[in-house]
Structure 1
């Protein structure tokens, strides 16, 4: 996977060169090559992009203490729609296996209908990522009680972006 030098989004190879999925920047074949993940990190990965999140101290198990996490949350500014879209790392075409330990961006929201619907409204800018180069993987379903097998009044929303 290659990343844009300007916004760190995934680049897609086209007939005339590389095109950024995030900002639309085009890189002609004759000019500089795009960055490889091993050379320069995506702005969304754990490879040292310089985010406030990466500077938080962790326990031996990798957890961030609640007080520090709350302090971090209170210090965040809401992203613009463009910043949110640009921060997404799409699942590479042909990817198999778990995305949990990868830098692929996933959203999982569970709860009652009111909460899931309210939270889902925050994700509207991501709908613009459905296009020729990437697609939305969306799963919205009622949850099932494991013991009885009956549907509950709760819902689960899973959202990610995948390369076409």
Structure 2
């Protein structure tokens, strides 16, 4: 997939289109091939700071390291958010947990969910002719009693349109 460097809109597959239909910026189509692994997934060419953090024997990042990493994150641009989001394929089944599919999961009381959800309003703009937004917003229930807890869960992801 290729995105506009200016606004983050998905570029059409048609290589004859050289301008973004959203903002008018030119697409640089000089590098059109994405390296592929055996499974057809784009190969990562560089590691992230996250991948370089030291972990404990259980695979967790120590709190101090995680806090420093989090504190050093910059607010991403719309284009960066779009480029970083990996869609769920139309034929996907099963759990997304062990995959590289991008999913946002929030849980908490209504005020927390409503406040934090504002950080993810950008995802609504990703829905277009080739992608759809999957959203699940519901009150959570106690697994033991089946009673509603008064807390909520919000799940967001982007999926290919079928």
Query: Which TM-score bucket, shorter chain as reference?
Result: 0.7 to 0.9
Question: In the alignment, which of 78, 82, 87 is matched to residue 79 of structure 2?
Answer: 82
Which residue number corresponds to residue 64 of structure 1? 61
Q: Partner of 1:119: helix, strand, or coil?
A: helix
Contact 1:110/1:157, CA 8 A, preserved across alignment: yes
Which residue number corresponds to residue 156 of structure 1? 153
Higher strand share: 1
Aligned positions, number = 153
1:109 equivalent to 2:101? Answer no
1:85 offset after TM fit, Å?
Answer: 2.1
The TM-score with structure 2 as length reference comes to: 0.77
When residues 35 and 5 of structure 1 are mapped into structure 2, their CA distance, relative to the original with a 3 A threshold, is farther
1:36 offset after TM fit, Å?
Answer: 4.0
Which residue number corresponds to residue 141 of structure 1? 138
Q: Partner of 1:95: helix, strand, or coil?
A: coil
Which residue number corresponds to residue 88 of structure 2? 91
1:135 offset after TM fit, Å?
Answer: 0.4
When residues 4 and 79 of structure 1 are mapped into structure 2, their CA distance, relative to the original with a 3 A threshold, is same
The unaligned stretches of length 5 or more in structure 1 are none
Distance in structure 1 (CA, Å) of the matches to 2:60 and 2:26? 36
Structure 1's consecutive aligned runs of 4 or more residues displaced over 6 angstroms after TM superposition are 9-12
Contact 1:10/1:90, CA 8 A, preserved across alignment: no
1:11 offset after TM fit, Å?
Answer: 7.2
Which residue number corresponds to residue 52 of structure 1? 49
Distance in structure 1 (CA, Å) of the matches to 2:66 and 2:47? 17
Q: Partner of 1:94: helix, strand, or coil?
A: coil
When residues 15 and 79 of structure 1 are mapped into structure 2, their CA distance, relative to the original with a 3 A threshold, is closer
Which residue number corresponds to residue 4 of structure 1? 2
